[in-house]
Structure 1
Amino acid sequence: MPIRLVPPAGVQRTLATAQLVGSIGDGAYYTCSALYFTRVIGMSPTRLGLGLAVAWAVGSLAGVPLGHLADRRGPRGTAVLLALATGAVVASFLVVRSFAPFLVAVCLYATTQSGLSAARQALVGGLVGRAERTTLLAQLQAVLNAGLALGAAVGGVVLSTGSRTGFLVAFAVTAVGFLVSGLILLRLPEVPPAPVSPGTGPKLAVLSDRPYAVVTLVNTVLLLRMPLLSLIIPLWIAARAEHLAWLGSALFVLNTVVVMAFQVRAARGVTGLRSASRAVRDAGVILLASCAVFALSAGDVPVWAMAGLLVVAATLQVIGEMKQSAGSWQISFDLAPAHQTGQYQGFFGSGVAVARTVGPLLLTTLLLDWGVPGWLLLGGFFLAAGCAMGPVVRWAERRRPGVAESEPEPLPEPEPVSDSGEVVARA
């Protein structure tokens, strides 16, 4: 069966269109925001880092209640409102001039982003069948990377000018991207709110679901890979071969292009909890190998050899990333009760916020200060987490009998259906 990089027409393609538009804005924001607040506004890097850490800590707490809101009020309406709110918050950055309003705005940004991610995932769960879900999420991830690349190109033009007006244009692009993305979501069919009955259990049941919490924790360890290419590797290269500083950006582009081209293929064999657990285990092994090769780049080797080692390590990392993403998507949905998808996805997605909050500080100390031993220790964490996922998932299955235990047979590609569509979060 041929691998489709573009979702079929209808609901799935609409979800992808909204994802693309929103991620273009994200790419512009991520490229320009740090330099805008430090160079244009005059905020110190320490204050900027503190503000972002506080914001993502707040965001990690917001995902569950906002996901619960999506369950109870309907994911489409909730996702639309949160997309519009995110655009409005980004627009507020245009008038931020000091730390206090920045902190408020960035906390609101992290909150709406976390809630939007949970609502979008609940929307995918409500509109797309289980057999097609992981493939769609892989396609959406590929679309996400394409949008980030386009947005980063906009950001690159802004950075080349260095003008305040250019930075403000980048924020405007981000805000408009979220607003348009929210409007595209309105084209989707409504997903009815989850029914409430006396046997439904506590409102925020995920907070007392220990097996799911452990699954989320294991996945969060694997998500520590996220700050590597964006933060650690550029600093690692600059400390050892300053004239190779350009390679950090090249490795980021490599990561983006590979995910765009191969994420769907990497997710093809993931059809249930067993195959998903194997994918995560394989990801742990590959990420260990990536860390080992990164460690080798610290040796006394020629510049060309160091560059080659970094390319190999980054390639292994993106392969591990794609496998971990595909496996974690399947696990997060299959272990979540159908009537509580939003809050469960909000809780699972909090791992991203935790990795963004804790990762930079932890990895800076572990890798930049400790060097080779730190890389090997991080690789050991990845391996342990990857191997632990299978037993933890089986424990969660035993605690929730009958939950998505069998591996469904792959279905033929669906025929195009009536127009509709948008959604998904980053792994």
Structure 2
Amino acid sequence: MPTAQASGASLSRPADRTLTALLFRKLMPLLVLAYVISFVDRTNIALAKAHIAVDLGISAGAYGLGAGLFFLSYALLEVPSNLIMHRVGARFWIARIMVTWGALSAAMAFVQGPTSFYVMRVLLGAAEAGLFPGVMLYLTYWFGQEDRARAIGYFLLGVCIANIVSGPLGGALLEMNGMLGFKGWQWMFMIEGVPAVLLAFVVWKKLPDGPESAPWLTQAQVHEVRQRLGTEAGSHSANGGHAFLAALRDRQVWLAIFIYFCHQIAIYTVIFFLPGIIGTYGKLTPVQIGLLNSLPWIAAAVGAAWLPKYANTAQRGRRLLLIGLVVMAAGLLIAASAGPVLALVGFSLTALMFFVVQSIVFVFPASRLKGAALAGGLAIINTCGLVGGFIGPSVMGMIEQTTGSTHYGLVVIAVLLLAAAVGAPFMRQGHE
């Protein structure tokens, strides 16, 4: 690796690119793996839906409510969780989150009916609260605005990977039905909860709290990272109360909240109901449903890896945000009105833009805040967005139970995405 000419001196352009590549290589694989595991654990009930309906008598409405309750407790605890991480450091707090959510995810195997289902989903949401906004905050310690959308896009690949692998994996675990007296869905919850606990110990040993504690950076490289960020990362000595209120007074934060709220309604409705929708396409085994469920997430992975890098200026970010929201809406309208093959194409079109939109939304407010305002502001955006994660599945479950179809629910979500697209051109970064 090229070295700096002197401590504190600016790195040459090739060395600058080398440092960025080093940060991506050292940080992103572990963060992405953590998000893969978290998404497998929070969404595996989608594959268990039909089975717990038979074994526990959980209706479509009760399932939708339980799926959404995760996000209610998650949302309520996100801001305090992020403010705690701002004080105690990422390494300890992310490891703590992973241990508690892994244990509770495994304990989902022992739910007995709707009430215990609701309770466990609330506890799981509380345990995992803060992971996503915590990582959004953590990335501001390392990457400037030019690279942050790409870093967020790579992190969101975790969702795509989770949904690609969880379908076939969950389908295979469901086939263990009856082994040692446990149902297939019980095996799925128990086995899929273990990796989070194991990875927590890796996070504790390997994840640095910031550039200064990274053993793989030289002093010159630490200085260069700090020089790049300037005031973006914020001051840890900032007054938390006043700084957080500053985030709430920023209209751009509220615009980001509205766009992200509509986005989260769409993504979590698809996550929790797509396997069930695919199940109506014919007589399919759990493994076949899982494989077909993976197709839109392959498209999402392509979008997350390919497109966010083009949002390297404010103008390009706004343009890509607008296009992404419109494409998502169009895909859902196709899925709502077409036959099985075209419906999967529609879902794939929507999924292509899932994490393009999500990675860009967080870049705009992050460029305007610092310190505790940054920690709290990112958390409040994700908190309000995840209220959409509660509302979307809950309303979709009621619509399906009332009408016997998901058609109208998908149309309503498409309209919300178009409303969010109207706000996209008005997003502004801190220097504008």
TM-score by length of 1: 0.75
Greater alpha carbon shift after TM alignment, 16-25 vs 59-68: 16-25
Q: Which residue of 1 aligns with 2:14?
A: none
1:319 is aligned to 2:352: yes
Q: Which residue of 2 aligns with 1:422?
A: none
Greater alpha carbon shift after TM alignment, 38-47 vs 353-362: 38-47
Using the alignment, how far apart are the partners of 1:100 and 1:112 within structure 2? 19
* Structure 1 unpaired stretches of 5+: 298-305, 398-402, 406-427
1:80 is aligned to 2:99: no
Q: Using a 3 Å threshold, how does the CA distance of structure 1 residues 343 and 324 change in structure 2: closer, same or farther?
A: same
Structure ranking higher on relative contact order (CA contacts 8 Å, 6+ apart): 1
Q: Using a 3 Å threshold, how does the CA distance of structure 1 residues 245 and 377 change in structure 2: closer, same or farther?
A: farther
Q: Which residue of 2 aligns with 1:266?
A: 307
Using the alignment, how far apart are the partners of 2:335 and 2:367 within structure 1? 34
Greater alpha carbon shift after TM alignment, 151-160 vs 366-375: 366-375
Aligned with residue 223 of structure 1, among 241, 264, 280: 264
| Cα deviation, residue 185, structure 1 | 1.8
Q: Which residue of 1 aligns with 2:226?
A: none
1:328 is aligned to 2:366: no
Aligned with residue 340 of structure 1, among 373, 378, 396: 373
Q: Which residue of 2 aligns with 1:255?
A: 296
Using the alignment, how far apart are the partners of 2:408 and 2:53 within structure 1? 33
Q: Which residue of 2 aligns with 1:16?
A: 32
Q: Which residue of 1 aligns with 2:255?
A: 214
Tell me which amino acid in the other structure corresponds to 1:18.
A
| Contact 2:331/2:349 (8 A) holds in 1 | yes
Superposed CA offset, 1:170-220 (max 9, x none): 223332221123222221112389523459715565445444123212221
Counterparts of 1:21-420 in structure 2 under 5 Å?
21-23=37-39, 25=41, 29-34=44-49, 37-97=52-112, 99-163=114-178, 164=182, 166-186=184-204, 187-191=206-210, 195-198=236-239, 201=242, 203=244, 205-231=246-272, 242=282, 252-297=293-338, 306-363=339-396, 369=403, 378-391=413-426, 393-394=427-428, 403-405=430-432
Q: Using a 3 Å threshold, how does the CA distance of structure 1 residues 312 and 185 change in structure 2: closer, same or farther?
A: same
| Contact 2:328/2:350 (8 A) holds in 1 | yes
Greater alpha carbon shift after TM alignment, 74-83 vs 375-384: 375-384
Tell me which amino acid in the other structure corresponds to 2:145.
R
Q: Using a 3 Å threshold, how does the CA distance of structure 1 residues 204 and 160 change in structure 2: closer, same or farther?
A: farther
Using the alignment, how far apart are the partners of 1:35 and 1:70 within structure 2? 38
| Contact 1:276/1:326 (8 A) holds in 2 | no
Tell me which amino acid in the other structure corresponds to 1:257.
I
Number of residues of Structure 1 aligned to a counterpart in Structure 2 = 386
| Contact 1:280/1:389 (8 A) holds in 2 | yes
Q: Secondary structure at the match of 2:175?
A: helix
Tell me which amino acid in the other structure corresponds to 1:175.
G
Using the alignment, how far apart are the partners of 1:231 and 1:17 within structure 2? 21
Tell me which amino acid in the other structure corresponds to 1:189.
P
Tell me which amino acid in the other structure corresponds to 1:12.
M
Q: Using a 3 Å threshold, how does the CA distance of structure 1 residues 204 and 95 change in structure 2: closer, same or farther?
A: farther
Q: Percent identity?
A: 15
Using the alignment, how far apart are the partners of 2:327 and 2:303 within structure 1? 16
Q: Using a 3 Å threshold, how does the CA distance of structure 1 residues 123 and 185 change in structure 2: closer, same or farther?
A: farther
| Cα deviation, residue 285, structure 1 | 2.1
TM-score by length of 2: 0.75
| Contact 1:286/1:320 (8 A) holds in 2 | yes
* Structure 2 unpaired stretches of 5+: 1-19, 213-233
Greater alpha carbon shift after TM alignment, 318-327 vs 4-13: 4-13
| Contact 2:82/2:130 (8 A) holds in 1 | yes
| Contact 1:212/1:335 (8 A) holds in 2 | no
Q: Secondary structure at the match of 1:106?
A: helix
| Cα deviation, residue 115, structure 1 | 1.6
Q: Secondary structure at the match of 1:268?
A: helix
